[in-house]
């Protein structure tokens, strides 16, 4: 299933996408987080989604980020070609950093930043892992059983803060307001038996600027979940963004940074398309 959260009539509601830009409200089955955690609730939602007479137009609602993660864990340099394009060595183990809750943004939202904060805002297409069950020191062999679903994510990065000559502030450069849009839906794991086979792209103003496949990850989804859970307990709804493929703006010659009025789309096969516009204040 493809699960959404949306705002209507003063409350946050849950829906299942049914194709043709439509969805069925399944709030009676539980919150989106409940559906990720509880197989019986998912079954009720799946049954409710079969009622075509209840379908609504997706365009008529305000979509929200599918989850509100307690933790946003980001992985650096997880595609071999991306490390190479930046002149970085291939890491021996996952590079972990954090994005904070203020960075979360809704699908279709306009991402804003101030001109005096950064002049080098970069796109990063990423597969997001949403944790479905409390996970502590899980083995790599069992790790995928702890995943609730997958989501499109954009790890927007202020490169002059992250890697500038006078300051190297990874967390600051990765945590400006709205710098982690996700969505529009979470695809449950039953639709993605192997997350290492997914085409992943970033499209900036209609031009494809990143085009790869999750098969190119250095560390697989299972490895990342196992590794992170070795050091911190992962809770349902936590988000791991798994790194970006080559083609980022900072590595291009000349560099290509996002600017006022741009439109950026992250597209992952079998999962969906996440689109946001950009505005400089």
pTM attached to this predicted model: 0.95
Q: What is the pLDDT of residue 174?
A: 92
Does the pLDDT at position 90 exceed 90? no
Residue ranges per domain, the chain? Answer: 2-64, 72-280
- Least confident window among 48-62, 64-78, 141-155: 48-62
What average pLDDT is seen over the chain? 94
Residue 71 token pair: 């933790």
* 40-54, 75-89, 177-191, range with the lowest pLDDT: 75-89
* Confidence class for position 80, pLDDT limits 50, 70, 90: confident
The dihedral region occupied by 78, where left means phi > 0, alpha psi between -120 and 50, and beta the remainder, is alpha
Q: How far apart are CA 240 and CA 228, in angstroms?
A: 9
CATH fold group of domain 72-280: Fumarylacetoacetate hydrolase; domain 2 (3.90.850)
Based on C-alpha coordinates, what's the Rg of the chain? 18
- The pair of structure tokens assigned to 38 is 């509880």
| CA 102/CA 81 separation, integer angstroms | 30
For 176-196, what is the mean pLDDT? Answer: 97
Q: Is the separation of the CB atoms in 107 and 206 below 8 Å?
A: no
CB distance 16 to 45 below 8 Å:
yes
Whole-number Å distance between alpha carbons of 30 and 104: 23
| Span 124-169, pLDDT tens digits | 999 999 999 999 999 999 999 999 999 999 999 999 998 776 666 7
215-267 pLDDT, tens digit each: 999 999 999 999 999 999 999 999 999 999 999 999 999 999 999 999 999 99
Nearest in space to 232 (alpha carbons), one of 127, 137, 121, 113: 137
Comparing 23-27, 33-37, 56-60, 152-156, the range with the smallest average pLDDT is 56-60
Q: What is the mean pLDDT of residues 111-129?
A: 96
């Amino acid at each position: 299933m493809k699960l959404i959260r949306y705002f209507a009539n003063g409350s946050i509601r849950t829906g299942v996408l049914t194709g043709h830009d439509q969805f069925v409200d399944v709030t009676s089955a539980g919150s989106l987080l409940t559906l990720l955690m509880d197989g019986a609730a998912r079954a009720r939602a799946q049954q409710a989604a079969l009622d075509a007479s209840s379908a609504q137009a997706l365009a008529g609602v305000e979509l929200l980020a599918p989850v509100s993660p307690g933790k946003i864990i980001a992985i650096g340099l997880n595609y071999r070609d991306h490390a190479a394009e930046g002149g970085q060595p291939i890491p021996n183990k996952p590079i972990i950093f954090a994005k904070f809750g203020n960075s979360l943004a809704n699908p279709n939202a306009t991402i804003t930043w101030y001109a005096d904060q950064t002049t080098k805002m970069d796109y990063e297409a990423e597969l997001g892992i949403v944790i479905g069950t409390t996970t502590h020191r899980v083995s790599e062999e069992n790790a995928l059983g702890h995943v609730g679903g997958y989501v499109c994510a954009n790890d927007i990065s202020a490169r002059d803060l992250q890697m500038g000559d006078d300051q190297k502030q990874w967390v600051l450069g990765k945590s400006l307001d709205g710098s982690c849009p996700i969505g529009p839906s979470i695809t449950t794991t039953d639709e993605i038996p192997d997350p290492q086979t997914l085409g992943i792209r970033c499209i900036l103003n209609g031009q494809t600027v990143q085009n790869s496949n999750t098969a190119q990850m250095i560390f697989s989804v299972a490895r990342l979940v196992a590794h992170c859970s070795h050091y911190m307990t992962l809770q349902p709804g936590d988000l791991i963004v798994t790194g970006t493929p080559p083609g980022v703006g900072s590595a291009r010659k000349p560099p290509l940074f996002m600017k006022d009025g741009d439109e950026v789309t992250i597209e992952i096969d079998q999962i969906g398309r996440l689109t946001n516009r950009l505005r400089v204040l």
